[in-house]
Amino acid sequence: MRTATNRCKRSLLALFLGLTACSSPDRPAGAPGADSGDVRIRYTARRVLLPEVPERGRILDRHDSVLVATRPQFLLKLPRLLDTLKLGELLGWDSTTVRQRIKDAVPAYRWGAAYPVQLSLTRAEVERVRQDSSQTVPKLTLTERPRRTYTTAAGAPLLGYMYAEAQPFLGQARRTQRGRFYRLRNGGVESYYNGLLSGHRGYQHPLVDAQGRQHGSWAKDTLFQQGQDLHLTIDAKLQTYAEKLLGNRRGYLVALDPKTGEILAYVSAPVYPASTITAPDKAGVRTELLESQDLPLLNRPAMLANPPGSVFKLVNAAVALQLEAITPASAFPCDQSLVSCVHGHRPAKNLTDGLKYSCNPYFYRVMQSLIDCVPDTLAGDTVAARHATLAQWRRYVRSFGFDAVLGVDLPREAPGFLPTPAYYDKARRTRAWTYRSIYSLSLGQGEINLTGLQMANLAAIIANRGWYYPPHLVRGIGAGGPLPRFRVKHRTLVDSVHFEALIPGMQAVMRSGTAASSSLADVGISVAGKTGTVQNDEGDDHAAFIGFAPADKPKIAVAVYLENAGFGAEAAAPCAVLVMEKYLRGSVAPKRKRWEKRIRREAGSE
Ligand SMILES: [Zn+2]
């Protein structure tokens, strides 16, 4: 009996591998056809595709407005020889519009090479073409096809694209970019959650005899699965607002709800309309994006890691407090023989002053007290001691989610970097490096690199006084919640009391310190923040800012980074504060309307 069963199993396996028939010389135990005695029965295993086709899910924002859905799209194929004047007449476009639309559709105006040119039309324009019985423009072809349709221009780097619809773009990117191609691919949540969005068709697996009668199944049925909607954490209005502030600058802005890790706004600048990558009539625009030196297609907040600058002083202070290397009352002189200090200021009598003035010598000494404190066990061996203290610093700092991916739901997030003792052994070509040769860590310069997501998460960690949920973009899949890993709370190795000790300094920054002009005190909101100005070898300094509000009960944490934009306080802090005010109050006070206008003008959004 056992051999018969085994033989049948083997034959079924053979069927599964694509062989056509199974003969069962012995009756398998409990198998169908038990009443046929010793008669040989031939079974055929079939795979039957069920007719129902799943509909791809929609993408909605946190207030349930639809951002992406599959809808019919109309395309007008133009003939090779075209009277553009008449085309404009037919569609109700002026001559500039006609020229622009064709230019957008064709890479670098290669009219002949790019044939056929297709333009996507609105319903009203389609009606005009259909009702034109006299054929104003001959040889036009109108087609209708369901495609992913973006209802908003905002959110390009997070919405991404459906891989199948992005083939023309990927081909273009491969041809024009080569080495950079890999970095410029970002399918957003549309790719990340592709399987859940698309759903799948159902299959049955009947076992049939020669007469076509079914005798049970040879495998479990695959159930039909409808495509599921994605409910984003993004606030579409805030996203649009933030994109206008950054416009065609280079940099990023990430806003989080610190209590949940939900990403409220996610801007990578220069910004471009979300539909550009897949629109059949935007090949010309795509060429410009691919060739731009500003790398608009680079998904900056997740993929680009930069030195955080003075923002990192907060991290070093928290770790130094935890390890009892300093106390909130520690005073250090502004000793410019150690490192220069750009802000002329009164002596820093405590940590709050140090943060308020962002005093470089102060934080030089904070870090030094971490690295040069020799553990008793290593007394006399300063080399081993420095390796041990740096490794310890790194272990505490890593608990902030640095030097590792946070696990955001986007493709190819970068981990950033924190140097190890071994890294310095190699880079300095000696194991006997001193604090003096690595002190740039104390200022967030040099080897440390953080992504935008890590910067925003740092703001959230301080807002929460020591913990975070991983930043994420999808808060609900279908009727369910987010991916389980976004519900796991992470704690840093620093106690909450030490984060609390940073907050007076961060409030002083906004009240009378480096970002005093970016206060929201007039509308009763207390902001806690820290600016950063990051030196770089390739041009003007980068401007950085992280902060949260309200300081005592944080509802929003923001990180802003503007490349080559100069002082953090002047460039980055106002953008962050406007986004906070917009989110917390719904509008911006008249007092700041002038700023808003100036920032938008500089960003090319007005
Ligand atoms: Zn100073």
Q: Give pLDDT tens digits for 498-546.
A: 999 999 999 999 887 777 778 899 999 999 999 998 888 778 899 999 9
Compute the distance between CA of residue 107 and CA of residue 256 in angstroms, rounded to an integer. 38
Q: 342 CA to middle of ligand 1, Å?
A: 7
Long-range CB contact pairs, 14-18, < 8 A, 24+:
15/44, 15/45, 15/218, 16/45, 16/218, 16/219
Residues 469-492 have a mean pLDDT of 97
Separation of alpha carbons 103 and 150, rounded Å: 21
- Ligand 1 centre to CA of 556 (Å) is 30
Q: How far is the CA of 308 from the centre of ligand 1 (A)?
A: 19
User: In angstroms, what is the span from residue 557 Cα to ligand 1's centroid?
Assistant: 27
pLDDT exceeds 70 at position 5? no
> At 55, phi and psi to the nearest 5?
-95, 140
Question: What is this structure's pTM?
Answer: 0.89
Domain residue ranges in the chain = 2-51+200-217, 302-479+490-602
Return the top range by mean pLDDT from 12-16, 121-125, 285-289, 457-461: 457-461
Tens-digit pLDDT profile for residues 216-225: 899 999 999 9
Angle at CA of residue 158, ends 156 and 160, nearest 5°: 65
8 Å CB contact between 189 and 232: yes
What is the whole-number distance in angstroms between the Cα of residue 528 and the centre of ligand 1?
20
pLDDT attached to residue 344:
80
Q: 363 CA distance to ligand 1 centroid (A)? A: 9
Ion ligand 1 contact residues with beta carbon within 5 A: 334, 341, 359
- Give the model confidence (pLDDT) of 396-424 as tens digits: 999 999 999 999 999 999 999 999 999 99
Separation of CA 552 and ligand 1 centre (Å): 28
Residue 13: per-residue pLDDT = 39
How far apart CA 443 and CA 317 sit, in angstroms, is 11
Ligand 1 midpoint to CA 339 (Å)? 9
CATH, range 302-479+490-602? 3.40.710.10
Q: What is the CA radius of gyration of the chain?
A: 31
In this structure, the dihedral spanned by the alpha carbons of residues 313, 314, 315 and 318, taken in order and rounded to 10 degrees, is 120
